[in-house]
Amino acid sequence: MDLNLELIFTEIAVILGVSAVLGLIAARLKQPLIVAFIAVGVALGPSGFDLMAAHEPLHLLAEMGIAILLFVVGLKLDMHLIRTMGPVALATGLGQVLFTSVFGYLIALALGINTVGALYVAIALTFSSTIIIVKLLSDKREIDALHGRIAIGFLIVQDIAVVLAMIGLTAMGAGDQSGNLLIAGLLVLAKGALMVAAVALLMRFVLPRLMDQVARSQELLILFAIAWAVLFAAGGDILGFSKEVGAFLAGISLASTPYRETISSRLVSLRDFLLLFFFINLGAQLDLSLLGAQIGPALIFSLFVLVGNPIIVMIIMGYMGYRKRTGFLAGLTVAQISEFSLILAALGVSLGHIDRETLGLVTLVGLITIGLSTYMILYSHQIYEKIAPFLGLFERRTPFREADLTPAQSEGVEVVLFGLGRYGRNIAANLQRRGKRVVGVDFDPQVVAACRQQGLAARYGDAEDPEILENLHMTEAKWVVNATPGREVNLSLLKSLKSQAYPGKVVLTAHNSQEDEAYRQAGADKVLWPFVDAAEQAVDYLTTSTDIIEATYPWPVTLAEVRLRPGSAAGGKRIRELDLRARTGASIIAIDRAGQSYFDLGSDFLLLPGDRLILLGSRDDLDRAGKILEEQEQAQGESAEKHFRIEEFTLPDDSSWIDRSLGELDLRRRQGITVIGIRRGSEKIISPPPTEILRQGDTLVVAGSTEALATLRR
């Protein structure tokens, strides 16, 4: 017995080691790990090196993994998402299930598969992998996009359908054993209704109080959740309608508790680990000698799934008024079969409905479709750009569903801002405070709605969608800002703007120096570094002159720190102009600016937005000073445009400036103007140095306020 245990331990250690190696290779190839794990089973099973002897322990771990999988599906079943997506989730989910199952069944019959086998194959082709799709959409930051929400909605519908299919197939198995399918089916339904009623009573009277007690310990909460899932799975098996259905109901029973997110997040890793053994066990059951004959049918079914499923989704969504792009991106998410398809086929083998050849066929289709559809989803935007001209058939003349998400007018905007997350919304709010006219664009309909409620003109759209630019009146905007990170989305937006000959300036967002360099080389005018800027500001807050003052002067002084916000009325003024001490009794004793501390503050020290002022005074004095410093200028955006000008000024022949240097004239201090250029005949001198000597006939390009320029002309 001890020897057997040691052999089992060694065998599992080898399996895990090989799985890690092949998993690494799959990850580098951007493939889901499912493909690698099935390959491990093939390599170590009878068709390969035949190193797997511990079939019973592996089978037990596989069944535990399936139970936890169905438990988590029930736990995360988001009926709210189905309701918010409305008819489109149900229509596309049920429509695609009906289309694929009917035509898949007919294709299977045409290929010579028997009636029951054709039924299993048809149902297996119906379902798509929620786990894989959620992972890919999350990695691409599209989980909250309109097509992402719709896809998750109809995948949830599919998850419910697969559970119902399992119940029906279990009833068929019971009917085969008893010889009376009708009575067996009714008996399974009665037992199911009894179990559902029991779950409802537990949810109403027992679980709320019990979970509050259990949740006092995180370890106990997870242990209870696993025990609950396995007990319900065992109960479902005893009642005759499969472990999977029992585990699914266990998840639903806890889905209404406030602990569902904690439980699901903790169990995801355990689920993935245990499912490893299911896919390895599945791969080990494949007989490669039989798969040769299945390659032809597998290719036919794979083509049907890869092409037919997306087409039916595009047809349904186009009919319902969605744009062809949304339908295409959502349709690609059903271009593969699911881990549930493999579980369903394995269930059919255990019930004696299908043979291992049919199981091998379904598995081969799974390997092909999962492998190819992964790349289709990863490069969905590039694929769409290539075939978009041929997809007009799948879009109404007026795609009214998405027209409802987009206001009709966006004329007169100065800034078009893509990405309305926390960073983007803060940019928009600050621009609006400065009097700029901003329109925001985001691919999350809920974010768009929230921004409109907050008074921001917002439209639904995707920065990677060239068609959105056609409706934004881009020629009127002076700036296009993309607050969304990601090399592909930023470069795609820049490319689209160039193709439309956008005349304004483009600002992109980078997370590292490589992205910054790529954006600038591609033609970006400015690049934002949100994390770097935030880190620098955080360090400034942590290293203030307040610490130096308190350490140097141990007297019980009262200090306060006030940051001059953009648009502050104090910004651009000198300390003597502010006259803070006379007005409030508080004194400015230090200023922190860009990591530097200034203590030698004269009355002519110029205050700038972003400065952090260290104030000394009583608590009441400091409160009054803080209110003054936080006052905002009124209509600053308009006043800046009205009072600032750039003009050309030709020196008169008798000007006293001739033959004198710019440094000697000191025009900035004496006249309030800055010479930014000199036109001397055909020569243009940009940013002339202080040593530049002015000559007769020079034309100066000067910048300054309207008052200063008027004085200069006089």
Cβ 332 vs Cβ 380: under 8 Å: yes
Report the mean per-residue pLDDT for the chain: 82
* Average pLDDT of the residues in 667-691: 85
Q: Find residue 439's DSSP bridge partners.
A: 416, 457
Secondary structure in 3-state letters for 490-535: HHHHHHHHHHCCCCCEEEEECCCHHHHHHHHHHCCCEEECHHHHHH
Q: How many residues does the chain have?
A: 714
**Chain segment 49-70, per-residue pLDDT in tens:** 888 877 788 888 888 988 888 8
* Average pLDDT of the residues in 428-437: 84
**pLDDT of 312 higher than 60:** yes
- Residue 688 CA to residue 685 CA, distance in Å, equals 6
CA distances to 15, 125, 229, 492 from 495, rounded to whole Å, are: 47, 39, 51, 5
More confident residue, 82 or 116: 116
- Residue 156 CA to residue 137 CA, distance in Å, equals 15
Confidence of residue 181 (pLDDT cuts 50, 70, 90): low
- Residue listed under structure tokens 């082709």: 125
**pLDDT of 260 higher than 70:** yes
CA atoms within 13 A on the CB side of 213: 5
CA distances to 47, 475, 509 from 419, rounded to whole Å, are: 51, 20, 10
- Residue 363 CA to residue 366 CA, distance in Å, equals 5
**pLDDT of 474 higher than 70:** no
DSSP, res 474: G
Taking the C-alpha atoms of 619, 623, 624 and 630 in order, what is their torsion angle to the nearest 10 degrees?
150
Contacts of 105 (CB under 8 A, 6+ apart): 118, 119, 121, 122
- Residue 575 CA to residue 220 CA, distance in Å, equals 62
**pLDDT of 448 higher than 60:** yes
- Residue 153 CA to residue 79 CA, distance in Å, equals 9
**pLDDT of 41 higher than 50:** yes
**pLDDT of 1 higher than 50:** no
**pLDDT of 413 higher than 90:** no
**Chain segment 509-544, per-residue pLDDT in tens:** 998 888 889 999 998 999 988 887 777 777 766 766
CA distances to 28, 288, 295 from 31, rounded to whole Å, are: 8, 22, 21
Confidence of residue 411 (pLDDT cuts 50, 70, 90): low
- Residue 310 CA to residue 301 CA, distance in Å, equals 14
- Residue 408 has a pLDDT of 41
- Residue 90 CA to residue 399 CA, distance in Å, equals 19
Which of 370, 213, 390, 219 lies closest to 302 in space, CA to CA? 370
**pLDDT of 596 higher than 50:** yes
- Residue 154 has a pLDDT of 82
User: What is the sign, positive or negative, of the torsion defined by CA atoms of 427, 430, 436, 438?
Assistant: positive
**pLDDT of 175 higher than 60:** no
Task: State how far Cα 453 lies from the chain centre.
Answer: 22
**pLDDT of 35 higher than 80:** yes
Top mean-pLDDT range of 37-51, 294-308, 700-714: 294-308
**pLDDT of 139 higher than 90:** no
* Average pLDDT of the residues in 256-275: 86
- Residue 3 has a pLDDT of 47
Question: Looking at 22-26, 454-458, 573-577, 703-707, which range is the least confident one?
Answer: 703-707
DSSP, res 416: E
* Average pLDDT of the residues in 307-313: 92
**pLDDT of 571 higher than 50:** yes
∠168-334-313 over CA atoms, to 5°?
Answer: 95
* Average pLDDT of the residues in 328-355: 86
- Residue 326 CA to residue 317 CA, distance in Å, equals 8
CA distances to 97, 116, 285 from 358, rounded to whole Å, are: 20, 10, 12
Helices assigned H by DSSP within 304-408: 309-319, 324-331, 339-351, 356-378, 380-387, 400-403
**Chain segment 356-399, per-residue pLDDT in tens:** 888 889 989 988 898 888 889 888 888 988 888 888 888 888 77
**Chain segment 483-514, per-residue pLDDT in tens:** 988 888 888 888 888 888 888 899 999 988 88
Q: What is the DSSP string of 201-259?
A: HIIIIIHHHHHHHHTTSHHHHHHHHHHHHHHHHHHHHHHTS-HHHHHHHHHHHHHTSTT
* Average pLDDT of the residues in 165-171: 70
- Residue 639 has a pLDDT of 47
More confident residue, 231 or 174: 231
* Average pLDDT of the residues in 107-126: 91
**pLDDT of 636 higher than 60:** no
Query: What percent of the chain shows pLDDT beyond 90?
Result: 11
**Burial track 588-627 (b if 16+ CB lie within 10 A, e otherwise):** bbbbbeeeebeeebeeeeebeebbbbbbbbeeebbebbbe
Question: Looking at 97-101, 359-363, 463-467, 495-499, which range is the least confident one?
Answer: 463-467
Residue 65 has φ and ψ, to the nearest 5°, of -60, -40
Q: Find residue 614's DSSP bridge partners.
A: 561, 590
Coil, strand, or helix at residue 673?
A: strand
- Residue 185 CA to residue 175 CA, distance in Å, equals 7
Tokens of 386: 């290539």
- Residue 552 has a pLDDT of 61
**pLDDT of 24 higher than 90:** yes
- Residue 16 has a pLDDT of 93
- Residue 487 CA to residue 370 CA, distance in Å, equals 26
Coil, strand, or helix at residue 591?
A: strand
Confidence of residue 155 (pLDDT cuts 50, 70, 90): confident
Give the strand pairing for 683-686 and 673-680: antiparallel
* Average pLDDT of the residues in 639-644: 53
- Residue 78 has a pLDDT of 61
Give all strands of the β-sheet with 683-686 in edge-to-edge order: 644-650, 699-705, 673-680, 683-686
User: What is the sign, positive or negative, of the torsion defined by CA atoms of 272, 274, 275, 276?
Assistant: positive
- Residue 173 has a pLDDT of 58
- Residue 50 CA to residue 48 CA, distance in Å, equals 6
**Chain segment 186-205, per-residue pLDDT in tens:** 776 677 677 778 888 888 88
* Average pLDDT of the residues in 677-696: 88
